[in-house]
Structure 1
Amino acid sequence: MKSQLCKQLLLPAAVLAFACCHVSAYAQAAPSLQAIQQGFLNPPNEAKPMVRWWWFGPAVEKPEILRELQQMKADGIGGAELAFVYPEVLDDPAHGLKNFAFLSPEMLDAVQYAQAEGRKLGLRIDVTLGSGWPYGGPTVTLHNAAMRLRTIVAALPGGAASAPLPALKEGESIIYAAVVNGTQSKWDASASSPATLDSEAARVTPAETPRVILFFVQSHTGQMVKRAAVGAEGWVLDPFSKEAVATHLKTVGEPLVKAFGNTPPYAIFSDSLEAYGADWTPTLPEEFRKRRGYDLLPHLPELVAGDTPNSANIRHDWGKTLTELVNEAYLVQINDWANQHGTKFRSQTYGEPAVSLSSQKLVALPEGEGPQWRTFSTLRWASSGNHVLGNNVTSGETFTWLHSPVFRATPLDMKAEADIDFIMGENQLIFHGWPYSAPQVGEPGWSLYAAAVFNDHNPWHPVMPTVNNYIARLSYLMRQGKPANQVAVLLPTDDAWAAFKPAKVTVTGAMQDLLPREMLGAILSAGYNFDFTDAEAIDRLGVQHSILLLPPTTRIPVATLRKIAAFKAAGGKVVAFGHTPTLSPEGKSSGELTKLAASIFPSTANTTAELTAALHQAAVPDLAFETTDFDRNAIGFIRRKLPTGDIYFLTNTSNREIKATVSFSTSYASGVALDPETGHTLPSKIAPKKLTLTLAPYESRTYLFGNGVTAATSKATTTASAAPIDLSRDWSVSFTGTGKTETQHTLTDWTASDATQHYSGEAVYTRSFQVEKAPSLGVYLTITGGSAEPGAPDAPPTAEKREGIPNPLVTRTGPGTRAWYNPPIREGALLVVNGKPAGALWHPPYRLDIASLLQPGENKIEIHVYNTALNAWAALPPHDYRPLIAKYGDRFQMQDLDKVKPVPSGILGNIELVFEAQR
């Protein structure tokens, strides 16, 4: 097995010994296939999803804290991250509402209580090391606040020997001044002369012609902490400053972690780096000189202008230095602090400022977000870092912006995004989120300004345990074995640094432009999955994938090319898309670089068709398709490699049924399908080749191939199927809690009646039907009639447009997702047959096997249907936030309030009993 796996991976010799050694040790410790099947049936607590638990104000009370923790436990949630955000209400002693000041004794006492009670329930408790985002607050002085480089351009008349100093804002200082030719609107940075600064003026050598003087000012971004709790207001800290970060850890981190007593939080959390415009720090000139070997200040005109032959080189060195500084001051310092305090640093290591992919090696728990699976995503950025670095768990901030506005998101929306997250390598979902809601405020309770609501104020919440069980099972399964993505995409990080400019210093932001979307989509459509890697990771660890794909790249280290050449010489496959490198990171050409690039990349793929052909020539794809172009683009998958088997998870990311014949590249002759709804293994074994699939919208499949997999015992049944029985008419519908019961001869939308237009809650559909004898076939209660919803954004450019429905994929490049589908159940249901629970209906295909619950003669069926809180919310008068804003400022703005209106509710499709032979 050891030699077989190493041969499959096609690793260079230097990495083969390391990989095979670890494969051998891993094989000894890995669970058996039967143990994996059992773990899938009963996933461990650590695989259960978590929630971001928003404490508004914070205005919390211990009884409600305990009740919500108990509800999380009952829902199958594995833990909570304490997140302290803006107030929702003014203090109201008469109703027991009081906003505790951030880090006040009352707030810290509530933290202590929450973590203690959560631990008693077996929940994992994390804590955000601050309030709102990014890190900062009242203890951040202007000296330690996030900084930027500001340029002031002033006219310098002919003959002038000096120029007055410009007026500065508080905390600003002039760090350099230079004279250039040109005007204030257009000046030439290619030749500049320094000015001499004194307390009164900038002294220059006179010239006859008018010129321009540039003042480079060490300034501040002015950014304040967003969504801050009461008492947490203040500047965003300077992420390049060790002093600023250390002060935050002492003044904010220490009190929060101390509140956990002898049981520190499982992890402390830092949200995505959003110190917008932060591109400077007081130590930058000295650090730049020490690291890059020359003085940055005389080159500031070129850095700012960006239009000289050397500008990109200056910007590259500046960007690389900023990355090194944020790594050391922020990531390393916080991670070390976490270790010293018995916890782990969970970090969303992307955004602004300039962290790189390899920066993730500096934190214990890299995390991502963003379900943009066919283009660049920081979720894939995080999972790739974990795959390359050997971390088995990738957490993700999940469901951010899911189907806005608040309360609009449904269980089907959750599945549409969760499945995409799984195929990108996420295996620890952290829901965004769970709003703490004071019971005094009534329904629908508090909510974040823009996020889904997963607490029990949402009427469809009774379906949540089923959704969470689905997620927990797949999270468990996606942690087994090793990641097996075939393609590594080498990020052009040096090109990203060279593309930096003042106030825009983000590697992840640059990748949106540097990685062609059509290239990434073509990899997936060709039947491969991929990770990102970077030059630093290759230099340290080599290439760990079967295929290395180079996107259009200009700058690359020669040392990295040498590593790639060794990988290729050892049998590794290398494919280039677009142009190949011509320059070193510093912007120089060399004979060795030119020779290496030419030998490694003798040709390049310039179209998606050429890329697909090159990939197929390099290695057999993990998933081979026989289907239409549209369906090929809609199917996503991920593979995990076991010592004695393979795991595949496959999903339809589109809003319409697709048909395909697929072949898995596993070397094992047979496997089984696992049902994530129930955890059971399905009865029939399957072959990995030429498997015919029909996938409903957003439907997924899970397969386990290997020697020794066991299928479930199948009852002997007939092979014939009976005609369906239509149960679509004559239902008694009782609206729980209202006293209203009606007979629906034809299934009707609740919003069609004035009496239930704004009803949010449960309705119980009841009727009886006759069965002559106990069935020998599988009997499925099936609800049909769903339809694709027009208007889904951003399908791959090669996707077909069918049936007049444009762009029906869920994929998009912006924030947020949703299922673009009109389901026949709005929005979830629990089925009861003859008084016994039969399961939940929450995604296509809407069907449950009820054969074991049927009896000869009369059978009673109940369908408990739940909609969203949006309908009742739409009937409420607009909330008046003016008193809150008057006291605390405008800290949040509710999103998409124009979309708060009743949505269709109830059972809107046809109900049938469908008889099928069990397989």
Structure 2
Amino acid sequence: PPAENRLLPIWYWNGVIEENEIVRQIQDMKDKGIGGFCLAAGAGLNIPHLSQIWFDRVRVALETADACGLQVWLHDEHLSQNGLGTRQALLGHPQFIAQQLTHRETVVQGGQQVDMNLPWAPVLLVIAVPLRRDRSLWEDAQDIRAYLGANHQQTHFAPNSTLPVYHPYTHTTHTPTRRLYWKAPAGRWRVLVFLQEPIISHTQPGIHIDRLNSEAIQHLQNITVQPYLDQFPDQVSKTWKGVFTHQTDDSPLPLKWSPVLPDYFQERNGYSIVSCLPALITNFGPNTARIRYDYFQTIGELKQKSDLTQWKNWGKEQNLHYANNIPISRTAHRNNISILGTGKKGEKIGIEQTRGFTPNPTTYQKNAVFTASLAAQTNAKGVLNTCFRNAGWAQTLQDMKAQIDAASSQGVTQFAPDGFLYTLNGLRKHSTTQSQSHQNPYWKHFRLLADYAGRLSYALSDSQPVVDIALLEPITSLWAHLSHPENDWEYIGPDKDENALVERLISDWTYIINALHDMQRPFHTLDPAMLSQAKIVGKEVHIGQAKYKALVLPPMTNMERDVFEFLKDFIHADGQIIALGLMPIEDIEEGTSVVDQCFRLTDVEPGRMIRDYTGHEVGVHLVKRGSFSLIRTGGAVERNRGSEMLANQLNDVLPKQVSIQSQGKNPSAIQFHHRISDKQHLYFFTNTEIASTTARIQLPSLKRNTTVNLWDLETGKRIPLVNEIVGNQVIINLPFSNHQSHLVVLSNEQESTSEPAEIAPLAFDIKGNWKVDPEEDNALRLS
């Protein structure tokens, strides 16, 4: 396969970078089937970053890669957003330092003195709210900013060296602090202070840049990537193919802020966010859900406009690709990126069984389905997966292949291993990323994996996914109840009941994702905002390359009005919609009430619906309104095993096109990904478990003569498969060993002259005495 389909590892320069070693490692990559590399500064770099010596070494890398036919990408930053490039960009520009929203609060009785020391930071809002039976009376809140002042925190007392005769000692104070000094009137009061403070990451200490500020991003580009354009104009789009943004936020900050946010928020939403800040931490009355929705939506739009779009436009101007894998507020905020990135921590085979490890399928960055779905909906060029990270030094080629297969079955088309380390000298071997290159004993066999991954990428890239089902994402419902999208949907509020609701919404969303997976029903996730770009064609929803015949709605507390109007139109066109558990019970936009329209659609009063969903009575029944189905539950969908009714409804309205019957304990162990190109259908099947099995697979035949081939991804050969055609179905039998995969292709091509083959499992005679000799010395690591 060509270089663009081969592995593109992130290559960390993390020591004293020497020209001869650069050449040697690049030539070694070429020999091992690598298609290129993404150059990044790594922990332990021992030459000045972005200095002339750095660019001299980069020139050697570009020239060597060009001679070897490899592609080069540049990492726009030093791994995370507090890296070397960012710090240089912030020198002399403190206005570009990223900020977060913080708050302090206390409750006092009338007559008590509030004496609150606060950080030396801009104060956004200072209010005192009267309490009545622990309920905040927001309409009677008082602005007490006038009682805010400043003091010094520390005292300095020392001998006076300038005038010791008259003043033997000096007394000074320093380290300023903000101080609120207010005496509460009669009653009980809740005092709240909101501040704008610099982001402090405990995992990656350093200064972060404000990615909500377009001027900050433009300045970052001038510092971190413009020098490459100046130094290597002849390599742009020739060997240097693109820029990759990865891990821009490494701090679990609750609420983002920026000095540019208040004005943008006012312009977009028509009211001030500053006066409504309490809604972001507590119940603020009937408009709480709307304010939270507006906040997260505005933050996401600002990030898209100031950061993502600016990078995309920069790449287009320079004729360079741009890919990213960054934390987002919602999927739709990445809808203008041509190469979408997704990442997942590396996993060793069997970790699920041995450690009870279950990945969270609702995390945007770690579940490739979100990114692959968006790629199909936006006609993106590809889905780039940063794989193998954090799997430890015991990771094997088999583990890597299993990760590639799992990601490919979810729609990934390109792979960027994270990563290759230039050196392991000293403490560098303890880097977060273990090196997958020449330091490992399996390196001499790496070509096997590289060729396999390249062929798989080549086959999947030149085709379109075939998916009939879209699962809507309950994003706005989680926003409205302080479930943070960039912190794995962690609840960041103080209300135990609200926390329980959030946990139930996420648990049911997870349950439905896993249920569709277990049903062997290929599905896409769908950010409701993407429906603004969709069209109803017959009884299908068309958006980009995607064509959906059924929409599945997880439990949700609200919905954007345009989304609900689209769903109504789809129902009127006899389009299939299946909702589970909970329909909107709160409005997040002014104007016509979505809640009222849902009531007319379902005949279920909103108050009763939320009581049933959050209650403890078990029960499930079906409400049908034409092509709309509501699976109502008493309590959580998961607790009521609502997936059984979901499976029945899908089988009724959308019979399976692909049927897989496998031996073994887990009937859903075999997963597949279906794609279509000009004249052929590709089915990628993968065994997701350690146990071996044999599967009887039924596929829809083509209209004319159907040829069935197995594309051997390890050798590149096409092997005719023995098959049986029954009616309009093609039946094949495939054996699957531990985590084995097969790529089956149906086409109308002329039959091969070779005899169709049965794929038999490999059998080894293990009887007799075995002798094991070490291939090479086994190194002992001394910490």
Interval containing the TM-score (normalised by the shorter chain)? 0.7 to 0.9
Unaligned runs of 5+ in 1: 1-42, 89-98, 227-232, 730-745, 751-755, 762-870, 879-919
1:76 to 33, 58, 64: 33
Question: Residues 425-436 of structure 1 correspond to what in structure 2 (within 5 A)?
Answer: 425-436=411-422
- Quick one: which amino acid aligns to residue 280 of structure 2? L
CA distance in 1, matches of 2:144, 2:765: 90
CA 1:167–1:699 in structure 2 vs 1: closer, same or farther (change >3 Å)?
Answer: closer
State percent identity of aligned pairs. 20
Q: Does 1:558 align with 2:516?
A: no
Corresponding pairs, count: 665
CA distance in 1, matches of 2:191, 2:453: 60
| Cα distance per residue 1:638-696 (max 9 Å; x no partner) | 00023433110001010011233221235454411111111111144434534333311
Q: CA deviation at 1:466?
A: 1.2
1:218 to 185, 196, 199: 196
- Quick one: which amino acid aligns to residue 692 of structure 1? N
- Quick one: which amino acid aligns to residue 115 of structure 1? L
Quick check: 1:139–1:234 contact (8 Å CA) kept in 2? Answer: no
Unaligned runs of 5+ in 2: 150-178, 346-357, 491-501, 536-540, 542-546, 604-624
Q: Does 1:747 align with 2:770?
A: yes
CA distance in 2, matches of 1:725, 1:567: 56
Q: Does 1:174 align with 2:123?
A: yes
- Quick one: which amino acid aligns to residue 877 of structure 1? L
- Quick one: which amino acid aligns to residue 175 of structure 1? L
Equivalent residue number for residue 145 of structure 2: 197
Quick check: 2:114–2:184 contact (8 Å CA) kept in 1? Answer: no
Equivalent residue number for residue 705 of structure 1: 746
- Report the secondary structure of 1:425's partner residue: coil
- Report the secondary structure of 1:689's partner residue: strand
Equivalent residue number for residue 352 of structure 2: none
Equivalent residue number for residue 149 of structure 1: 101
Quick check: 2:683–2:744 contact (8 Å CA) kept in 1? Answer: yes
Equivalent residue number for residue 249 of structure 2: 274
| Cα distance per residue 1:195-234 (max 9 Å; x no partner) | 24346376989622352321111112223894xxxxxx84
Equivalent residue number for residue 376 of structure 2: 387
Q: Does 1:592 align with 2:621?
A: no
Quick check: 1:645–1:707 contact (8 Å CA) kept in 2? Answer: yes
The TM-score normalised by the length of structure 1 is: 0.67
CA distance in 2, matches of 1:112, 1:330: 28
CA distance in 2, matches of 1:651, 1:566: 38
Quick check: 2:387–2:418 contact (8 Å CA) kept in 1? Answer: yes
Quick check: 1:646–1:704 contact (8 Å CA) kept in 2? Answer: yes
CA distance in 2, matches of 1:71, 1:65: 10
Q: Does 1:124 align with 2:68?
A: no
Question: Residues 570-719 of structure 1 correspond to what in structure 2 (within 5 A)?
Answer: 570-586=573-589, 589-596=594-601, 599=625, 601-604=628-631, 606=637, 607-627=642-662, 630-667=665-702, 669-687=706-724, 689-708=730-749, 710-711=751-752, 713-714=754-755
CA distance in 1, matches of 2:258, 2:208: 13
Quick check: 1:576–1:603 contact (8 Å CA) kept in 2? Answer: yes
CA distance in 2, matches of 1:640, 1:560: 28
CA distance in 1, matches of 2:431, 2:61: 24
CA distance in 2, matches of 1:448, 1:62: 25
Higher deviation after alignment, 386-395 or 601-610: 601-610
Provide the alpha-carbon RMSD of the alignment. Answer: 3.3
1:451 to 410, 413, 433: 433
CA 1:726–1:313 in structure 2 vs 1: closer, same or farther (change >3 Å)?
Answer: closer
Q: CA deviation at 1:107?
A: 0.9
2:506 to 497, 513, 537: 513
Question: Residues 714-733 of structure 1 correspond to what in structure 2 (within 5 A)?
Answer: 714=755, 726=765
CA distance in 1, matches of 2:679, 2:380: 21
Q: CA deviation at 1:73?
A: 0.9
CA distance in 2, matches of 1:672, 1:684: 5
1:67 to 21, 24, 33: 24
CA distance in 2, matches of 1:725, 1:554: 57
CA 1:131–1:328 in structure 2 vs 1: closer, same or farther (change >3 Å)?
Answer: same
CA distance in 2, matches of 1:725, 1:361: 50
- Quick one: which amino acid aligns to residue 368 of structure 1? T
- Report the secondary structure of 2:380's partner residue: coil
Q: CA deviation at 1:157?
A: 5.7
CA 1:508–1:621 in structure 2 vs 1: closer, same or farther (change >3 Å)?
Answer: farther
CA 1:626–1:187 in structure 2 vs 1: closer, same or farther (change >3 Å)?
Answer: same
Quick check: 1:527–1:622 contact (8 Å CA) kept in 2? Answer: no
Q: Does 1:876 align with 2:781?
A: yes
Higher deviation after alignment, 300-309 or 118-127: 300-309
- Report the secondary structure of 1:416's partner residue: helix
Q: Does 1:328 align with 2:333?
A: no
CA distance in 1, matches of 2:649, 2:117: 59
CA 1:283–1:192 in structure 2 vs 1: closer, same or farther (change >3 Å)?
Answer: farther
Question: Residues 96-111 of structure 1 correspond to what in structure 2 (within 5 A)?
Answer: 99-111=46-58
CA distance in 1, matches of 2:124, 2:55: 43
Quick check: 2:98–2:198 contact (8 Å CA) kept in 1? Answer: yes
Q: CA deviation at 1:482?
A: 1.2
- Quick one: which amino acid aligns to residue 324 of structure 1? E
| Cα distance per residue 1:171-197 (max 9 Å; x no partner) | x111111102359x9773645513243
CA distance in 1, matches of 2:487, 2:564: 21
CA 1:129–1:335 in structure 2 vs 1: closer, same or farther (change >3 Å)?
Answer: same
Question: Residues 171-320 of structure 1 correspond to what in structure 2 (within 5 A)?
Answer: 172-181=121-130, 188=136, 190-198=138-146, 200=149, 207-223=185-201, 226=204, 234-264=206-236, 265-276=240-251, 277=253, 279-306=256-283, 308-320=285-297
CA distance in 2, matches of 1:683, 1:628: 24
Q: Does 1:356 align with 2:330?
A: yes
CA distance in 2, matches of 1:568, 1:690: 35
Quick check: 2:129–2:142 contact (8 Å CA) kept in 1? Answer: no
Equivalent residue number for residue 365 of structure 1: 339
Q: CA deviation at 1:127?
A: 0.6
- Quick one: which amino acid aligns to residue 381 of structure 1? F
The TM-score normalised by the length of structure 2 is: 0.78
Quick check: 1:134–1:225 contact (8 Å CA) kept in 2? Answer: no
CA distance in 1, matches of 2:335, 2:37: 25
CA distance in 2, matches of 1:225, 1:138: 20
Question: Residues 417-566 of structure 1 correspond to what in structure 2 (within 5 A)?
Answer: 417-437=403-423, 447=429, 449-500=431-482, 504=484, 506=486, 509=489, 513=506, 516-542=509-535, 543=541, 544-566=547-569
CA distance in 1, matches of 2:380, 2:710: 27
- Report the secondary structure of 1:115's partner residue: helix
Q: CA deviation at 1:409?
A: 0.9
Quick check: 1:483–1:639 contact (8 Å CA) kept in 2? Answer: yes
CA distance in 2, matches of 1:724, 1:535: 50
- Quick one: which amino acid aligns to residue 51 of structure 1? P
- Report the secondary structure of 2:660's partner residue: strand
